[in-house]
Amino acid sequence: MRGYTRWVPRSKSKLGDWHEYATERLREAGYHKGGGRERVVGLLAGKSCAVSALEIDAELNGVGRATVYRALDQLEQLGLIRRIELGLDSTGFEKVGPQGHHHHHIVCSNCGKVIPFEDQPLEKAIRAIAKRSGVSLESHDVTLRGTCTGCD
């Protein structure tokens, strides 16, 4: 089938330049460099899919948990990352590319596996809804849940 759906790699990043893009945006925003925030940015740059604040904290020795939360807050406000709810108590964060490039997720309700994807008809439908509503669309989240092929 010639589908419109693109299955996004979960670990390799398509946004290879996100790291410098984010660094530049942070600098423009007047943030000082060096320290915990940069390590958070570096870690996020290496992940293409959602990571939780606690996971980041666990991977970053020497960086305080509060710093992680503060950095995520700042990055989100600059639109460099977005916050998504995949499980029921996870709250993941993942980077957003220069043109708002992002993907959505399918979550297996049995094993928790996450399948990231991009889909044009879906995006088109969403843009149409926003247009009809009169709302100027800033962001959107889509999450599908079901049993994956390995859990049938």
Partner DNA sequence: GTATGTGCAAAGGCTTTGCACACGT
Partner DNA sequence: ACGTGTGCAAAGCCTTTGCACATAC
Residues engaged in binding a second copy (CB under 8 A): 1, 3-5, 7, 83, 85, 88, 106, 108-109, 115, 117, 119, 121-122, 124-126, 128-130, 132-149, 152
The answer to whether 67 contacts DNA (rule: CB under 7 A) is: yes
Q: Is the dihedral of CA 7, 11, 16, 20 positive or negative?
A: positive
Residue number, 35 or 111, with CB nearest to a second copy: 111
The answer to whether 89 contacts DNA (rule: CB under 7 A) is: yes
36 binds, among DNA, a second copy, none (CB under 5 to 8 A by kind): DNA
Strand partners, 116: 105
CB of 117 to a second copy, least distance (A): 6
| Sequence-ordered list of residues with C-beta below 8 angstroms from that of 135, at least 6 positions apart, any chain | none
Task: Report how far residue 23's alpha carbon sits from residue 31's, in angstroms, rounded to the nearest whole number.
Answer: 10
CB of 19 to DNA, least distance (A): 16
DSSP 16: T
The answer to whether 31 contacts DNA (rule: CB under 7 A) is: yes
Give whole-number Cα distances, 13 to 8, 49, 110, 142, in Å: 9, 9, 26, 20
Q: Which residues bind DNA (CB under 7 A)?
A: 31-38, 52-54, 62-67, 69-71, 73, 89, 91
